[in-house]
Amino acid sequence: MMDFLEEVIKSGIGKVEQDVFLSHYTTYKVGGLARCIIYPKNVGKLVELMHLIKKYSLQYKILGNGSNLLFSDRKYENVLIHLGNLNQIEIIRNKIIVGAGYSMIRLAREALKKSLTGLEFAAGIPGTVGGAIFMNAGAYKSDMGYIVQSVKVLTPDLKIIDLTNLELDFHYRSSFFQKHTDYIIIEATLRLKYGKKKSIEEVMAERRRRRMETQPLDFPSAGSVFRNPEGLPAAGKLIEDVGLKGLSKGGARVSPKHANFIINAGGASADDIKSLIEFVQDTIEKHYHVKLKVEQEFVNWE
């Protein structure tokens, strides 16, 4: 790893942070020490970095805002790549071309400025464009699959190609990228519709008010923990109905405000959060004979 990092630094690929706690890079505010986080300056430098990763036969993971990840408390020895520098944006009429590292919340605001509708659902999503596409993030009966026209990716053989919406296989909280994790999202082209700025602003304001009232935004969390099961009430309702709302394990707690949120109520470890997620999952399975699917990704638990 040291030879690899020396070559990365010598090549001027971008900022390199070493031995940093992942609690500073995840919305749960937990996670062990990371060996390194590398911030490529641009797409060209990302390609250089991937060549070096292949040269040294290293494992890697893309890190966005850390809003859908639960890292263990163990040291993470692989390479973390942060695409925050891929944050360019261009708006051409009702089309937005935007980098993978761009903030979804900021993107929704930029669309509002241009009276473009279709991104209202994203105004409360604390992730990046790349992360939102990977997860097919959504809310209020809409998601990325409705607005993504194409995505520019870096393939496993380090070629840059465009994938169309149909090729991206968008479904509820699912996309092509979850089955092809060796493709790296670089940039997306979104196609929106023109709307009335005041109406768009009102919708975003109303949804912001609802989030403040119904979600535990004053505590670290990673948003909804479980996907809503088919043919049953929403996951939060099921969790509340079996009496788990407010349940704690260590510093982790099922939010008293919204049962499909698990919060770091103070001093939680990653083990506390994972243990509570699994306990809720097992309890719901016993009561309803359905295993809730976890929206968040567990990393470094092997």
Q: Which of the residues are catalytic?
A: 173, 224, 295
Q: Whose CA is closest to 85, among 9, 14, 175? A: 14
For residues 112 and 104, give the distance between their C-alpha atoms in angstroms, rounded to a whole number. Answer: 12
Q: CB under 8 Å to 222, separation ≥6 — which residues?
A: 26, 27, 28, 67, 68, 69, 70, 262, 296
Q: Please check whether residue 176 is in contact with residue 217, taking contact to mean a CB–CB distance below 8 angstroms.
A: no
Pairing of strands 252-254, 33-40: unpaired
Which residue, chain included where needed, has tokens 């049953």? 232
Tell me the β-bridge partners of 15: 39
For residues 201 and 198, give the distance between their C-alpha atoms in angstroms, rounded to a whole number. Answer: 5
Other Cβ atoms less than 10 A from the Cβ of 221: the count is 26
For residues 128 and 263, give the distance between their C-alpha atoms in angstroms, rounded to a whole number. Answer: 21
Pairing of strands 76-82, 60-63: parallel
Q: Please check whether residue 274 is in contact with residue 31, taking contact to mean a CB–CB distance below 8 angstroms.
A: no
Pairing of strands 252-254, 116-117: unpaired
Helix (H) or strand (E) holding 285: helix 270-288
Q: Please check whether residue 54 is in contact with residue 292, taking contact to mean a CB–CB distance below 8 angstroms.
A: no
